[in-house]
Structure 1
Amino acid sequence: MTTITIPVPSRWARFRDSYLLYSFKRDLIAQVCLLVFVAMVAAAILAPWLAPMNPYDLAQIDILSSELPPFWIEGSDPLYLLGTDAQGRDLLSTILYGARVSLIIGFGAVILQALIGVSFGLLAGYLGGRVDAFLMRLADIQLSFSTLMVAIIVGAVFKATFGGETFSEYAVILLVLIIGLAEWPQYARTVRASVLAERSKEYVDAARVMGFRAKRIMFRHILPNTLSPIFVISTVQVANAIISEAALSFLGLGMPETQPSLGSLIKSGFDYIQSGSWWITLIPGTVLVVLVLVINLLGDWLRDVMNPRLYKG
């Protein structure tokens, strides 16, 4: 008797033949956006090596060179390609370092949102009953508090307890916590809806009959089938988190000017627009817009791919 062995395709082979890659190859906008996003992330990660100067090193800051224009404007200094800010820091260097801070806060906040929201959504959708009602009412209460309100409350309490200098020292961690705790209901509601659709399917009934515990059924069987909407939400939430950080920094509730982020850079140059030093705000603002735009466009493409009925080619 001859045994026929059916070869199992490798992960790379499955990815190569997947609808995801097929759709990506056909979408020029998605390709350009991914290229721009990867380039910006790489530049932020490699900031210590790519930046002409270190904006954290006070010895490299020359206050006499403040408000120098970019290289294409008369009166510029070839040493500062994008000019300098009001403190005499090289604007290109501060943008590279600031983008890294904004990306860390954006991704860190989304990871926290996902951990809380996915866990609550799984519990609410699978267990139902009082657990579902309690967690969803908790989400409703959380949604009634805006990110700005949460930031004001947390910032005021932290500064009153530990002082402003301590707040500045732990600003990145605090912003991750503030934005993460303020936005987790988006995940919880989406995951709950997916779990409600999945828990009545046959594979869940089979897992129950086999005696698997609820925890294993939720995380080993149901969760993998709810990853598509989670990925789509994550792309949108990363952009929202970066915008939230910029807004909070602009209002003085985020990163201090001594620790540049894209938001704090925009805020630091806002008072100098009327004096003619528009580049201090406009250039970091343009970088922020491009970063958020490419993330949102990638999120739109990913949403269409994850739901082929919406994909128009």
Structure 2
Amino acid sequence: MITWQGFLKRFLSDPVAIGAGFVLLVLVTMAVFAPWIAPQNPYDLLQLNIMDSEMPPSWRDGGDERFWLGTDAQGRGVFSTILYGTGISLLIGIGAVIVQAVLGVSLGLWAGYRGGWVDSFLMRMADIQMSLSTLMIAIIALALFKAAFDANIYADYAIIMLIVIIGIAEWPKFARTVRSSVLGEKNKEYVDAARVIGLPARKVMWGHILPNTLTPVLVISTIQVAEAIMTEAALSFLGLGMPTDKPSLGSLIRSGFEFIFSGSWWITLYPAIVLVTLVLALNLLGDWLRDVLNPKLRRGDD
């Protein structure tokens, strides 16, 4: 297992990892401190003025220095909506991965340790789940939810629904990875010793085997956050994600797409750039973690 000193040394020696980490840190910090950084609260109707709608960025003719990146059709500053929207996208992405990890790790740990019909049943369920498109499952579930409740209820529970649906749709990736690790660990001497002293299966699984299977979970989690953010953005672009009054990056792109050919390109372009940058940074960090935490690759480097 790589030490923290070795981990930090490899990180500081990789310019791609440093760049991706720095970009991610900046975006997360801006999202967390959006209420203090943003010059305008896009959720406060008292701060909005429809006369400010579709203003270009401040450095272009007709721009206003109050709105650095221009405004959207509701008169909201694009910079402010990006800050708040990034926070919502990250919240949904991280929340969905927590749901995926809890379900996937639990079921994968149980399947790998128990084996037999339990393993066969859970893995066949995982195969069926993976054969279905996450986007298709989410579209059906959200369309039904949106049809069953009015717009106000949907707006109130949109974040929770997106987290749960995206989380449930992607649990097999964690389950299969953890199961594979458990199969390699459960017959080792430390597990046999735990059984010999009479520890129940629950403690053997969660207290002894699980800590030795978390490395691949960390790698998957980083990449899955990026995938969950992209899934939410796609759903919002289709009108099934976040409502326009609580914008995520995806809903910001959608709200400005109809204006892109009329000259108000900044409404869509800047949120799209932030979305691509965020997802790219997460994917680069995930790939770097996979390379660093893979023992075979480390031995090859040595």
TM-score (norm 1): 0.92
For residues 305 and 148 of structure 1, what CA distance do their matches in structure 2 show? Answer: 31
Is 2:242 the partner of 1:265?
Answer: no
C-alpha distance after superposition, 1:265-310 (max 9, x if no partner): 0000000111011111110000001111111111111111101432
RMSD: 1.6
C-alpha distance after superposition, 1:241-273 (max 9, x if no partner): 100110000001100111111000000000011
Is 2:263 the partner of 1:250?
Answer: no
Is 2:72 the partner of 1:85?
Answer: yes
Partner of 2:17: 30
Partner of 2:276: 289
Instruction: Describe the SS at the equivalent of 1:18.
Output: helix
- Return the letter of the residue paired with 1:258: D
For residues 93 and 226 of structure 2, what CA distance do their matches in structure 1 show? Answer: 7
- Return the letter of the residue paired with 1:139: A
Offset at 1:164? 2.8
Contiguous gaps of at least 5 residues in structure 2: none
Is 2:172 the partner of 1:191?
Answer: no
For residues 185 and 105 of structure 1, what CA distance do their matches in structure 2 show? Answer: 19
Partner of 2:129: 142
Which region of structure 1 is more displaced relative to structure 2, 140-149 or 271-280?
Answer: 140-149
Which region of structure 1 is more displaced relative to structure 2, 159-168 or 286-295?
Answer: 159-168
Instruction: Describe the SS at the equivalent of 2:88.
Output: helix
- Return the letter of the residue paired with 1:49: W
Partner of 2:118: 131
Pick from 283, 297, 301: which aligns with 2:288? 301
Is 2:75 the partner of 1:117?
Answer: no
Structure 1 contact 15–21 (Cα < 8 Å) conserved = no
Offset at 1:100? 0.4
Q: Spell out the pairing of 1:38-117 with structure 2 (5 A cutoff).
A: 38-117=25-104
Seen in structure 2, the aligned counterparts of structure 1 residues 16 and 125 have a Cα distance that, compared at 3 Å, is closer
Identity %, equivalent residues: 61
Structure 1 contact 109–176 (Cα < 8 Å) conserved = yes
For residues 197 and 118 of structure 2, what CA distance do their matches in structure 1 show? Answer: 24
Instruction: Describe the SS at the equivalent of 1:89.
Output: coil
C-alpha distance after superposition, 1:106-141 (max 9, x if no partner): 000000000000000000100000100111111112
Pick from 265, 274, 287: which aligns with 1:278? 265
For residues 149 and 116 of structure 2, what CA distance do their matches in structure 1 show? Answer: 41
Offset at 1:75? 1.6
Q: Spell out the pairing of 1:179-218 with structure 2 (5 A cutoff).
A: 179-218=166-205
For residues 188 and 203 of structure 1, what CA distance do their matches in structure 2 show? Answer: 23
Pick from 154, 160, 164: which aligns with 1:177? 164
Offset at 1:209? 1.0
Which region of structure 1 is more displaced relative to structure 2, 160-169 or 103-112?
Answer: 160-169
Offset at 1:73? 1.8
For residues 161 and 17 of structure 1, what CA distance do their matches in structure 2 show? Answer: 50
Offset at 1:17? 5.7
Offset at 1:152? 2.4
Q: Spell out the pairing of 1:229-244 with structure 2 (5 A cutoff).
A: 229-244=216-231
Q: Which structure 1 residue ranges, 4+ long, deviate > 4 Å from structure 2?
A: 14-17
- Return the letter of the residue paired with 1:292: V
Partner of 1:221: 208
For residues 156 and 17 of structure 1, what CA distance do their matches in structure 2 show? Answer: 46
Offset at 1:187? 0.2
Instruction: Describe the SS at the equivalent of 1:72.
Output: coil
Larger Rg: 1
Seen in structure 2, the aligned counterparts of structure 1 residues 230 and 15 have a Cα distance that, compared at 3 Å, is closer
Contiguous gaps of at least 5 residues in structure 1: 1-13
Structure 1 contact 262–284 (Cα < 8 Å) conserved = yes
Seen in structure 2, the aligned counterparts of structure 1 residues 286 and 17 have a Cα distance that, compared at 3 Å, is closer
TM-score (norm 2): 0.96
For residues 38 and 3 of structure 2, what CA distance do their matches in structure 1 show? Answer: 37
For residues 146 and 285 of structure 2, what CA distance do their matches in structure 1 show? Answer: 38
